[in-house]
Amino acid sequence: MRILLIEDDAMIGRAVRQGLAQAGFAVDWVTDGRAAELSLANGVYDLAVLDLGLPKKDGMSILTALRAMGNSMPVLIASARDTVRDRISGLEAGADDYVLKPFDLDELVARVRALLRRHVGSGSPLMCFGPLALDPVRKSVTRNGAPVELSAKEFAVLEALMQRPGAVLSREKLEESVYGWGEEIGSNAIEVHLHHLRKKLGSALIKNVRGVGYRVTEG
Ligand code: CA
C-alpha cells in the first residue's frame, strides 16, 4: 500500500517516512502544498498523512480541494495546531483522523492501519490466490492457513504480485510498488526478496518469466 506523506519539517518527515516504511508501506514524501496536489492528482495513494502548516499551499486547502473532487482516500492530519476549533475544522473539512504533534510514531502507524482497515470495510480485505491468503492491512500472510513470517519488503513484493494474480510484473514495476521515492534500492534487491519469498512459500508459487518478470501461480 502506498502512502503520501505531506510534511515540510525535515526531521519529522524523515522519522515518519522511516516508521511507515518499516511497517511495510511504500512512502512518497513531499514538502510543500503544490507538490502535494500534483502527487495527489496521480491517484495512486491509499492514504495521506497531512501536515497543515505548509509552504505554497495550506494543508486545509489541499484537503478541501481533494474532497471537493470527490476523492475519498483516507487522510490523517498530523499537526501542531491543537485547539479544539482546529481539530473540528480539520475533521469537518474531511479528515478521517487527527494526531497532535509531537506524536508517538507507533501510535501514528497504528492509526494509519486503523484508517486503512476502516476504509476497506470492517471485514478483512483478504487477497486469496491458490494456497495463499494475504491481509494488506494486518500485513499477514498464510499458506494453506499456516502463517508465514515475511519481512516488510517481502510482504510488499508479494502484495504487488497478488494484486494482479497471474499477470507478469517486471522488476521495474515491482520496484515501483515496493519502494517510495528516494529509497535506496540495491540493483538486485527485488531478486533477493523474491528469492526469500520462494524459499518461504515454495518456489512453485512464484514463476520467473525469463526476460519479462514475475507472476504468482496457484502452485
Ligand atoms: Ca509544517
Contact 56, 33 (CB under 8 A): yes
Q: Are both 90 and 137 inside the same structural domain?
A: no
**52 Cα–ligand 1 center, Å:** 6
CA atoms within 13 A on the CB side of 140: 9
Domain containing 14 — which CATH number? Answer: 3.40.50.2300
| Site of grid cell 513470517 | 149
Q: Are both 22 and 99 inside the same structural domain?
A: yes
Select from 91, 120, 149 the last residue of a domain. Answer: 120
Select from 120, 154, 188 the last residue of a domain. Answer: 120
Number of domains in the chain: 2
* DSSP 8-state code for residue 200: H
Select from 81, 99, 120 the last residue of a domain. Answer: 120
Mean pLDDT, the chain, whole residue set: 90
Bridge partners (DSSP) of residue 216 are 206
Q: What is the pLDDT of residues 130-171, one digit of tens each?
A: 899 998 877 899 999 899 999 999 999 999 999 888 889 999
pLDDT of residue 70: 84
Domain containing residue 170: 127-216
Strands 2-6 and 26-30: parallel
Q: Are both 110 and 60 inside the same structural domain?
A: yes
Q: Are both 141 and 95 inside the same structural domain?
A: no
**93 Cα–ligand 1 center, Å:** 18
First to last CA, the chain: 25
pLDDT of residue 187: 78
**10 Cα–ligand 1 center, Å:** 10
Q: Are both 69 and 156 inside the same structural domain?
A: no
Contact 132, 162 (CB under 8 A): yes
Contact 95, 77 (CB under 8 A): yes
How far is 50 from 71, CA to CA, in rounded Å?
15
pLDDT of residue 124: 54
Q: What is the pLDDT of residues 6-55, one digit of tens each?
A: 999 999 999 999 999 988 899 999 999 999 999 999 878 999 999 999 99
Q: Are both 136 and 114 inside the same structural domain?
A: no
**114 Cα–ligand 1 center, Å:** 24
Alpha helices in 164-201 (DSSP H): 171-178, 189-201
Average pLDDT over residues 71-75: 92
Q: Are both 110 and 153 inside the same structural domain?
A: no
**64 Cα–ligand 1 center, Å:** 17
Q: Are both 88 and 131 inside the same structural domain?
A: no
Domain containing 179 — which CATH number? Answer: 1.10.10.10
Q: What is the pLDDT of residues 111-124, one digit of tens each?
A: 999 998 887 664 55
pLDDT of residue 205: 92
Query: Residue 211: CB partners within 8 Å, gap ≥ 6?
Result: none
Q: Confidence band (pLDDT; 50, 70, 90) for 108?
A: very high
pLDDT of residue 143: 92
Q: Are both 115 and 184 inside the same structural domain?
A: no
